[in-house]
Structure 1
Amino acid sequence: MAYNRRDLLAQTLDGLAAQVRPVDGVVVIDNASTDGSGDLARAHDVVTEVVAMNENLGGAGGFAAGIARAVATHQADLVWVMDDDTIPTPGALEALLAARKSYPGTPAILASRAVWSDGREHPMNTPRSRPGASRDLVAAAQAIGTRQIRSASFVSILLDARAVWEDGLPEADFFLWNDDFEYTARLLRHRVGLFVPASEVLHLTRTFGASETDPGARFYNEVRNKIWLFTRSSALDPVEKALYGGRSVLRWIQTLYASGQKRTLLKHAYRGLHDATEAPTPVEVVLANTPVAEDVKQVQRSAGLLGRDEAANG
């Protein structure tokens, strides 16, 4: 998914072209970039297709569009998801596939280890371990150098298309923040996910730190989307909602306490609380006027998530 980071996108595409295990295809979602990102992607040898969106629908909309296009139009069995500031090392895909093959089961998600430019593991992208995982599950993961996880970020994950067809697409209306938490936790509620440290990517954010560091206007998305996650999504069970909900409130308090713009953040938080009273707009509605509209309908229909009126009208 690309939006106005042309130079970083070039590095991402070069990284994909340099994979020891070559990629089978690359779909770039150009989220209405104005810096020539789409043209750069079209000219790159590794790219199979560039889908030009007519407006910026955020990371959530972009990832939903890309996953839908990959599984519906390109009939992918596995979808490797990443952002345009993610640079995969040459062995990243090979390591994900090796872990998938070695595990005595079928993981729905395999997540790479994301590091910053100085080699430190990026705190924004550390997958959450699966609480209460059985000894057998833990041992099976450890035996191949991996770890059982409950959720992951979109920075570099390998998705099994069967899980996508069964559970649908990310919530595009999240726009940004927590869309990956909601989606991966939804896919992994009753499935296996693995963190694969041998698969390494660079996540070249401007600064090193977690997402709560100086959120600014994005605090609105943090609050609204988390409330949507806890009240509207099937991703978490009741105990997990209480656990993660409590942690989120504590993080919000810590973020406000550390901020030099407390009044501004409180305004964003209030808007988020207010807007969370309405349910997210369905993904097929958010992406209705885009090139992937039919792909989205196919996936959502397969998952039983397409509205009855939409399903009746085809």
Structure 2
Amino acid sequence: MTSVIAVVVAYNRRDLLAQTLDGLASQDRPVDGVVVIDNASTDDSGELARAHDVVTEVVTMTENFGGAGGFAAGMARAVVQHDADLVWVMDDDTIPTPTALSALLKARTDYPGTPAILASRAVWSDGREHPMNTPRNRPGASRELIAAARAIGARQIRSASFVSILIDARAIWEDGLPEADFFLWNDDFEYTARLLRYRVGLFVPDSVVHHLTRTFGASETDPGARFYNEVRNKIWLFTRSEAFGPVERLLYGGRSVLRWGQTVYASGQRGTLLKHARRGMKDAGKAPTPVEVVLANTPVADEVRVIQARAGRIHG
């Protein structure tokens, strides 16, 4: 039987985390394990997770490594220690409906191939599809690929967010882990695009999760200090990652620059955003710190090095 290990990254949202874990416990196809990465929460998120019946293990990090570091840690623990065939990742504000996993697995079985990533449909509290988590279509997909996906009620995608995606562990072993130094924003864009550069990814609308962000909107809405991560990480992505070829770099890079301009123009704090953007551009001149270095003094350090070495991504 295919082993599915869920990975949840948690940080100071214990009430939402409880709903996430309850949602995992209610799956009509039970998960085979749940790994919660507690990013050094200062509330009782870790204690709540340890007390929940669905949780297999809670890994307490030495500090908050953000979503990027948390998911890298969780994937490493899931595939090395728990021998996962598939890793189902989500944030602690993601509540899966009871058929979310079974719908992903059905699409995986019905598709005439082996998708590396299957993404759920994320909706907000009022049922609207969440713009923060809409997967990007695969540009230039052949008619055959489009038809194969459409035949099972899915569509071909080029990237996805970390809000409920099912990842084939073989892709993790082959291409390594997310870039932990991104900390937050665009880490999922870089990672899923890297895995899907030469592999198939599918958006599965029948798999539904609720993404309970505070407000409804895309990530560029009122970014504040996070605009630093948006700018720095996008520059890293388009200049240092293997996720995209030359044409895609121009396509997505151009769209990003246009979106930055729109974000600044619409902001009531343009000077502040420009300051964060300048700092992001400056810091993007230095390469991201390798994930095995970022997570070197954590409980998952050995697992991270094993995966990165297997993928040929160890630096130094």
TM over 0.5, yes or no? yes
Q: C-alpha deviations, 1:175-234, integer Å up to 9, x for none?
A: 000000000000000000000000000000000000000000000000000000000000
What is residue 312 of structure 1 aligned with on the other side?
A: none
Does 2:304 correspond to 1:296?
yes
Pairing partner for 1:237 from 232, 245, 257: 245
What is residue 255 of structure 2 aligned with on the other side?
A: 247
- CA-CA distance at 1:307 after TM superposition: 2.3
Does 2:13 correspond to 1:5?
yes
Instruction: Output the amino acid matched with 1:189.
Output: R
What is residue 282 of structure 2 aligned with on the other side?
A: 274
Q: Distance in 1 between matches of 2:214 and 2:235?
A: 28
Instruction: Output the amino acid matched with 1:69.
Output: R
Pairing partner for 1:77 from 77, 82, 85: 85
Q: Distance in 1 between matches of 2:135 and 2:10?
A: 23
What is residue 110 of structure 2 aligned with on the other side?
A: 102
What is residue 33 of structure 2 aligned with on the other side?
A: 25
Q: Distance in 1 between matches of 2:13 and 2:244?
A: 33
Normalised by the size of structure 1, how large is the TM-score?
A: 0.98
Q: Distance in 1 between matches of 2:313 and 2:26?
A: 38
- CA-CA distance at 1:13 after TM superposition: 0.1
Instruction: Output the amino acid matched with 2:36.
Output: V
Q: Distance in 1 between matches of 2:30 and 2:158?
A: 28
Does 2:152 correspond to 1:144?
yes
The 5 Å alignment of 1:77-226 reads 77-226=85-234
Q: Secondary structure at the match of 1:29?
A: strand
Normalised by the size of structure 2, how large is the TM-score?
A: 0.97
Instruction: Output the amino acid matched with 2:28.
Output: V
- CA-CA distance at 1:35 after TM superposition: 0.6
What is residue 272 of structure 2 aligned with on the other side?
A: 264
Instruction: Output the amino acid matched with 2:98.
Output: P
- CA-CA distance at 1:11 after TM superposition: 0.1
- CA-CA distance at 1:19 after TM superposition: 0.2
Q: Distance in 2 between matches of 1:83 and 1:164?
A: 19
Q: C-alpha deviations, 1:213-272, integer Å up to 9, x for none?
A: 000000000000000000000000100000000000000000000000000000000000
- CA-CA distance at 1:33 after TM superposition: 0.3
Structure 1 residues not aligned, in runs of 5+: 309-314
RMSD after superposition: 0.4
- CA-CA distance at 1:18 after TM superposition: 0.2
- CA-CA distance at 1:288 after TM superposition: 0.2
Q: Distance in 2 between matches of 1:41 and 1:206?
A: 22
The 5 Å alignment of 1:59-70 reads 59-70=67-78
Q: Secondary structure at the match of 2:78?
A: helix
Q: Distance in 1 between matches of 2:142 and 2:169?
A: 25
What is residue 54 of structure 1 aligned with on the other side?
A: 62
- CA-CA distance at 1:291 after TM superposition: 0.1
What is residue 34 of structure 1 aligned with on the other side?
A: 42
Instruction: Output the amino acid matched with 1:28.
Output: V
Q: Distance in 1 between matches of 2:220 and 2:173?
A: 32
Q: Distance in 2 between matches of 1:77 and 1:304?
A: 20
Structure 2 residues not aligned, in runs of 5+: 1-8
- CA-CA distance at 1:91 after TM superposition: 0.2
Instruction: Output the amino acid matched with 2:226.
Output: R
Q: Secondary structure at the match of 2:32?
A: coil
What is residue 285 of structure 1 aligned with on the other side?
A: 293
- CA-CA distance at 1:120 after TM superposition: 0.1
Q: Distance in 2 between matches of 1:52 and 1:302?
A: 25
